[in-house]
Amino acid sequence: MRSFIALFSTLKKNHSKSNIQAGLHALLILLLVLGNHFQQIFCVPTVWSSFILWPVALRFTFLAYSPTSKTLQAFLSFLDGIALFVCLYCILFMEWASLFALALIPVFGIGILIAAPQYFGFLLLRNQWKQRGVTANRMAFFFSFALCLLTSVLVGWQFQIEGQRIHIALQENTPLERKSILTEKILGMHFIYHTRIEYYDGWRPPIHDPLVVIGYNLNQRKDLLKLELKERIALYRKVFPSRHIKMKCSCARAYRSNYFEDPLWLLFEP
């Protein structure tokens, strides 16, 4: 115990508070990456969402650092607004688990991973509170956060419009002449893209796309197509014949054979 105290005292002398916090945050982010890899709470993120996550993760690591450049301060405040939205998204996605994060810490420490968005969100808000006199930084922060909220509303609105368009095409038995990004996302729901958190570590869609999650949840979790899984996959294959319907990765680690060896795939892929 004395050795541990001596080691901590040495670290405190040789490193600033910012460096210690950066190291702890980097360790926490590493645990989050490893935890998601093995537990697959968020499954496999899409490429575009990964491009957003990595700068946010880097910002979380160096939250304690405050640059002297006013331009850089405003840019980091803008990034902080996006980071806060990411925290809010994660908290809402994990549903009831977010409410019991602390109680779940004894369960293999998973509560620490669940509470991480709440922790980082608190630090982001605290940083902005400390800068309440710096108008440009606060404006950049609230602008980026509001922009994320507005984008989410637009995604939900377009998700509904596209879902209705596909539904009408199916009812009238007419081909989908116009295809958009959301066309592929909606048709790929439930076998490529998951729509909400799933605690059962079994067969579930392997790809996590915030566009699908936001659009689906803002429309009261209603699926206008109301198709059986086989019908949905067949429709997806018809509209997007060059795309894969079975991913090379599974969302579930413990029961991934349930996904790869499901007889369902034999109906569509030899």
**For 130-160, how does the pLDDT look when each residue is reduced to its tens digit (9 = 90+)?**
876 668 888 999 999 999 999 999 999 999 9
**Is residue 57's pLDDT more than 80?**
yes
Q: CB–CB of 93/197 below 8 Å?
A: yes
Tokens coding 33:
């990456």
Give strand pairing partners of 44.
207
Please determine, for residue 33, whether its predicted confidence score (pLDDT) is greater than 90: no
Task: Kindly state the tokens that stand for 126.
Answer: 């605290």
DSSP 8-state secondary structure symbol assigned to residue 207: E
Smallest CA-to-CA distance from 83 within 51, 105, 57, 64 is with 57
User: DSSP for 71-127?
Assistant: HHHHHHHHHHHHHHHHHHHHHHHTTHHHHTTTTTTTTTTHHHHHHHHHHHHHHHHHH
Higher-pLDDT residue of 5, 188: 188
Token pair recorded at residue 58: 């880097």
- Cα–Cα dist 140/131, whole Å: 12
Would you call 111 exposed, middle or buried from its count of C-beta atoms within 10 A (0-12, 13-18, 19+)? Answer: middle
Q: How far apart are CA 184 and CA 120, in angstroms?
A: 33
Global pTM reads 0.85
Percent of the chain with pLDDT over 90: 38
Looking at 16-30, 68-82, 252-266, which range is the least confident one?
Answer: 252-266
The encoded tokens of residue 138 equal 């606060």
Is residue 90 very low, low, confident or very high in pLDDT (cuts 50, 70, 90)? very high
Residue with tokens 């160096």: 62
Q: What is the mean pLDDT of residues 109-122?
A: 87
Q: Which residues pair with 45 in a beta bridge?
A: 208
Per-residue pLDDT of 168-193, as tens digits, reads 999 888 888 888 999 999 999 989 99
